Structure 1
Amino acid sequence: MRWQGGRRSSNIEDRRGMGVGRPLAVGGGAATIVIALLVALLGGDPGSVLSTSSSSGPGTGGSGRTADPAQAELEQFVSVVLADTEDTWPDLLRPYGVSYADPHLVLFSDAVESACGMQESAVGPFYCPLDERVYLDLGFFQELDQRFGAPGDFARAYVVAHEVGHHVQNLLGTSERVQAMRRQSPRDANALSVLQELQADCFAGIWAHHAEQQRHLLEPGDVEEGLKAASAVGDDTLQRRARGHVVPESFTHGSSAQRMQWFRRGLEQGTVEACDTFGAASRGQRPSP
């Protein structure tokens, strides 16, 4: 991925090493066992399962910075990818009457306090709609490489773009509508979560489409890296590794096939209309787990 020399975002908050205490609890069924934490690794909407708490103030940066060259390069990479999403989404949302507000991305280590509650690094990257921030421990990229077998710059960019996709859902009002539907029909909560996650995958594909068409950021093999990352974090893949069997009705993020399909759809078509996972489900077009 041709990211070196790209514009860096000014919306990075560095809270690494700030000494946030361990959470009293990591709320919701998705946190009851280790694999459930891994299932939640691409976050989505922790506000749906966590008790709301008071937001911590924005990090001022600096106190958590590290002299580790590898960490410094990852920080720069994340900043460039975030900046590129900032250049992509405003024009795409303007026809919907939505003014794109840049999300902040919070770098943290070990644990972090957000408006959606206090979380540990084990939950992976997540987006909190209550404070419009993406939260990321850079150590997750090592997990993505070593534990999930999805290495490469573009696989990491997919993670950032997916979380920004949840921010887009928040701006479009999708997150609020999904929460309302979950309250009205609790038995459909998992299925609705899957549709929301698949749409964020598709939105990540939209970003990749425009990053290539307009700025030529992609290199040979990048698409395969993104698809591999999407496949690696499918619910069926994670459950099979943890349990040896798959329970489709417990899916909250979608199967590997679904995640790859919707990421590819956004990548190939590059339009918000192409990412209507909810409409596709109502028409019976959702792929089988």
Structure 2
Amino acid sequence: MQGQPYGGQGHFNGFQPPPRRDSSFRLVLLGFSLLVVIGIAAAIMAVVLWTGGSTSTASGPVEPKVSGPSIVPTPTTNPEKGTAEDFLLNADVYRTGPLTEQNCKSADLGNGGLAAQKVYYQRLFKCLNDAWRPVFHELGQDKPDPGLVVFDKPVQTACGNFEPLSGRVLAFYCYGNQVMYVDVKQMDKAFGPKEDLAYLMTIAHEYGHHVQGVTGLFYARAAYLQDHPDQKLESSRRNELQASCFGGVFSRAVAKSYPLTDRLDEFKEQSSNSFGESPDTPEDERTHGLATSQGFWIQNGFNIGANKACDTFAVSADLVK
């Protein structure tokens, strides 16, 4: 396909818990993005739900492993070199190796309050930075680590002003200043202190958006949508599922120390059922992908354990529903 040469743009991304739909769905998260492209802002909303179902697929090929897929996407199209589509399909990040194994023991969330959550996020954030920094260096992107703000009072950011429990915002990453913000009260309300794997996957997913920004993937998508506005919803799902896949790759890097090795059934259950839109979500609101799609890509990133698992722009539409 013909397209504009990819140049680069700017972005903001966050998570929110969705409204309850019915008794069979437990709310967990809802995400949104605010995209600023050549002075044009567009809001992108997405529901992430607890569905109460289960997924059973073939076991991954390596240890530690969870039940789930194990595919390495390969582009089948041949877009014009230098276009945004070419970048999305063939970005250099897909050719980087596994993340370095991290010594990253989970901090105790205690009562879920500010002090405990701050310790948890700070420890996890250090591991995320340590794991991804060599990848960025390999790609020639030696930029400062992103910042982290954990708040339980009103906060001013480069992406707007936010209050605890305002709307349904849980956490968000702001490309305007490369800082991730986490609403302590909203996280505790959505998860409580017991579901620490939900905290892990939420923050690893948001950091996945940081990876997309540093490597140029998010900005390539913004440029692509200028030529293909009809692909907004499907492209949003590919973008969000890719962030989840990057989160799965990171989860593999901390599997032994967190530890996840004796909690893989729980990891599989949450990854397959905790995140994603309900099947009854209207087609024109499906921006993150169904729970089965979220589980597929989180587990694929975990099982393959390398970024080559996460080329969500190269797969058929049925894998990004």
On whether the aligned pair clears a TM of 0.5, the verdict is: yes
Report SS of the residue matched to 1:127: strand
2:294 corresponds to: 259
Report SS of the residue matched to 2:319: coil
Query: Is residue 173–residue 180 contact of structure 2 (8 Å, CA) maintained in 1?
Result: yes
Indicate yes or no: 2:201 matched with 1:129. no
2:189 corresponds to: 143
Letter in 1 for 2:310: C
Q: How far apart in 2 are the matches of 1:84 and 1:155? A: 17
Letter in 1 for 2:319: P
Report the CA distance shift for 1:254/1:207 in structure 2 as closer, same or farther (over 3 A). Answer: same
Q: How far apart in 2 are the matches of 1:41 and 1:85? A: 22
Indicate yes or no: 2:34 matched with 1:46. yes
**Which whole-Å deviations, capped at 9, do the CAs of 1:143-164 have from their partners, x for residues lacking one?**
3326xxx952122111111111
> How far 1:219 sits from its partner (Å)?
4.8
Report the CA distance shift for 1:171/1:84 in structure 2 as closer, same or farther (over 3 A). Answer: same
Q: How far apart in 1 are the matches of 2:288 and 2:162? A: 19
Report the CA distance shift for 1:89/1:69 in structure 2 as closer, same or farther (over 3 A). Answer: closer
TM superposition outliers: structure 1 runs of 4+ over 6 Å: none
264-273 or 179-188, which deviates more:
179-188
Query: Is residue 46–residue 128 contact of structure 1 (8 Å, CA) maintained in 2?
Result: no
User: What does 1:67-82 correspond to in 2, within 5 Å?
Assistant: 70-82=113-125
TM-score, structure 1 as length reference: 0.68
Match of 1:231 among 258, 266, 273: 273
User: What does 1:54-65 correspond to in 2, within 5 Å?
Assistant: none
Report the CA distance shift for 1:182/1:230 in structure 2 as closer, same or farther (over 3 A). Answer: farther
> How far 1:207 sits from its partner (Å)?
0.8
Q: How far apart in 2 are the matches of 1:226 and 1:110? A: 34
Match of 2:130 among 73, 76, 87: 87
Report SS of the residue matched to 1:235: coil
Q: How far apart in 2 are the matches of 1:40 and 1:182? A: 25
Report the CA distance shift for 1:285/1:183 in structure 2 as closer, same or farther (over 3 A). Answer: closer
> How far 1:266 sits from its partner (Å)?
0.8
Letter in 2 for 1:186: P
User: What does 1:236-247 correspond to in 2, within 5 Å?
Assistant: 236=278, 245-247=280-282
Q: CA RMSD in A?
A: 3.4
- For structure 2, the 5+ residue unaligned runs are 1-14, 22-26, 43-110
**Which whole-Å deviations, capped at 9, do the CAs of 1:171-210 have from their partners, x for residues lacking one?**
0001111111223322221211111110110011111111
- For structure 1, the 5+ residue unaligned runs are 1-29, 53-67, 238-244
1:156 corresponds to: 199
1:221 corresponds to: 263
Letter in 1 for 2:132: W
> How far 1:271 sits from its partner (Å)?
1.0
Report SS of the residue matched to 1:224: helix
Identity of aligned residues (%): 26
Report SS of the residue matched to 2:198: helix
Query: Is residue 241–residue 320 contact of structure 2 (8 Å, CA) maintained in 1?
Result: no
> How far 1:220 sits from its partner (Å)?
2.1
Report SS of the residue matched to 2:35: helix
**Which whole-Å deviations, capped at 9, do the CAs of 1:7-52 have from their partners, x for residues lacking one?**
xxxxxxxxxxxxxxxxxxxxxxx99x9679x897344x33359959
Report the CA distance shift for 1:131/1:211 in structure 2 as closer, same or farther (over 3 A). Answer: same
Letter in 1 for 2:277: D
**Which whole-Å deviations, capped at 9, do the CAs of 1:212-262 have from their partners, x for residues lacking one?**
25x45325225624651563231226xxxxxxx332342111110111110
> How far 1:111 sits from its partner (Å)?
4.3
Report the CA distance shift for 1:92/1:160 in structure 2 as closer, same or farther (over 3 A). Answer: same
Bigger helix fraction: 1
Report SS of the residue matched to 2:234: helix
Match of 2:312 among 271, 277, 288: 277
Report the CA distance shift for 1:138/1:69 in structure 2 as closer, same or farther (over 3 A). Answer: closer
Bigger strand fraction: 2
Higher relative contact order (CA 8 A, sep 6+): 2
TM-score, structure 2 as length reference: 0.62
Report the CA distance shift for 1:144/1:48 in structure 2 as closer, same or farther (over 3 A). Answer: farther
Q: How far apart in 2 are the matches of 1:117 and 1:111? A: 11
